[in-house]
Amino acid sequence: MPSPKHLTAMADSEILSPGSTIGILGGGQLGRMLALAAAEFGLRVHIYAPEETSPASEVADAATCAAYDDATALTNFAATVDVITYEFENVPGETARILNEHAPVRPSPKALAVSQDRLDEKQFLTSMGIAVAPFIPVDTVDDLTNALKTLGTPAVLKTRRFGYDGKGQVKINHPGEAAAAMEALAGAPAILEAFMPFEKEVSVIIARARDGTVAAYDPGENVHINHILHTTTVPADMDARLANDAIEMATKVAHGLEYVGVMGVEFFVLPPTTDGPRLCVNEFAPRVHNSGHWTSDACVTGQFEQHIRAICNWPLGNPHRHSDALMTNLIGQEAHDWQAHAAQSGRALHLYGKHEARPGRKMGHVTDLHPRRDQ
């Protein structure tokens, strides 16, 4: 693979030209789709992941197999790329710090750090004037008992770090379940959140460039099964004012983090009341997002292309949605029906190249497209 244009950090104003190399931390399906989007622009990709084989490495120009705490491997990797991004948010903070000394990391290590700790995330959002579920930090059973007295039940106990797809959280229906809940999380530092009686969950996929330009996609409505995203429907069933509010809040988050790249912001839509907000942020992910997969088929510029544009200092693309869409994840054995999916008119099939269809594992997705109802 050709050497990068330089071995020092890229100047903030520099636009990466075709032939430049993007380093991606993580070898999953998001990295794979980022690599494919980069190839469309004549950009090269170098994957860094601890797995010997991965969906992303199969479509990349180069791959490094090493641990995220291997300082020597990280330094060598950074010397071969012009910019670094990541496809999952559990990259160790020290990893991002080491890499950022040799090549720009986008989104920034700051955005990564805030998103990795649920307490930091909630405090950041609150400081921005953005509504979230009431929360209290919890370290012990006594802390949890007192927090339950304040927030009441039902409530949700969540680990502060390393939670996704429902992992690292326990619903508490009665105060007497406090000890068992803490034991289920193995005593990890946690936060207790009030249970929000939401009507639905929606998400906004938004991109921000270094110059502060933003491009937001229409909100999608999400349905989960066993805590794993099952479908995203666009447009979401919400009025235009509320949809605009969600986009404005997502924009506020992106600006507050001085974000560069694509991020997903998840919202709870609350029942109408005479006082209080209709929307509160559940969480944000500093990366391309599962609930944004539909954009690749239903928009002028999909989220993966948009992310590549942002981190390379290219102008953001047009997020205009030309079709209504229903994105459905293919979990485990569901991917074995690929022939039936491929035969469906108006259905786009995306498979991730994973060799083993384990229960709960995301193996691919399909997007069903329909003419926009509002046109």
Domain ranges of the chain: 21-105, 134-194, 200-371
Q: What is the DSSP string of 84-148?
A: EEESSTT--HHHHHHHHTTS-BSS-HHHHHHHH-HHHHHHHHHHTT--B--EEEE-SHHHHHHHH
The whole-number pLDDT of residue 2 equals 40
CATH hierarchy code of domain 200-371: 3.30.470.20
Q: Is 301's pLDDT higher than 70?
A: yes
For 349-373, what is each residue's pLDDT tens digit? Answer: 999 999 999 999 999 999 999 999 9
CA 351-355-356 angle, to 5 degrees, is: 105
For 46-65, what is each residue's pLDDT tens digit? Answer: 999 999 999 999 999 999 99
Q: What is the DSSP letter of 316?
A: P
For residues 286-300, give the mean pLDDT: 98
User: Tokens 């992106």 belong to which residue?
Assistant: 254
The Cβ of residue 302 has, within 10 Å, a number of other Cβ atoms equal to 23
- For residues 207 and 123, what is the distance between their CA atoms, to the nearest angstrom? 22
Share of the chain above pLDDT 90, in %: 84
Q: What is the DSSP letter of 230?
A: E
For residues 342-348, give the mean pLDDT: 96
For 228-245, what is each residue's pLDDT tens digit? Answer: 999 999 999 999 999 999
Task: Quote the distance between the C-alpha of residue 225 and its chain's center.
Answer: 18
**Greatest pairwise CA separation for the chain in angstroms:** 62
- Under the banding of pLDDT at 50, 70 and 90, the label for residue 91 is confident
For 143-154, what is each residue's pLDDT tens digit? Answer: 999 999 999 999
Residues of the chain by 3-state class (helix, strand, coil), percent to 5: 30, 30, 40
CA 110-113-115 angle, to 5 degrees, is: 110
Higher local confidence (pLDDT), 187 or 200: 200
Global pTM reads: 0.92
Fold of 134-194: Dna Ligase; domain 1 (3.30.1490)
- For residues 282 and 271, what is the distance between their CA atoms, to the nearest angstrom? 15
Fold of 21-105: Rossmann fold (3.40.50)
Mode of pairing for the β-strands spanning 44-49 and 21-25:
parallel
For residues 72-90, give the mean pLDDT: 95
Please, which contacts does 253-258 make with residues 24 or more away whose CB atoms are closer than 8 Å?
A: 253/125, 253/128, 253/130, 253/206, 253/281, 253/284, 254/206, 254/208, 254/214, 255/208, 255/212, 255/214, 256/124, 256/128, 257/107, 257/108, 257/110, 257/111, 257/114, 257/124, 257/286, 258/108, 258/110, 258/111
Close Cβ partners of 12 (under 8 Å, ≥ 6 residues apart): 104, 210
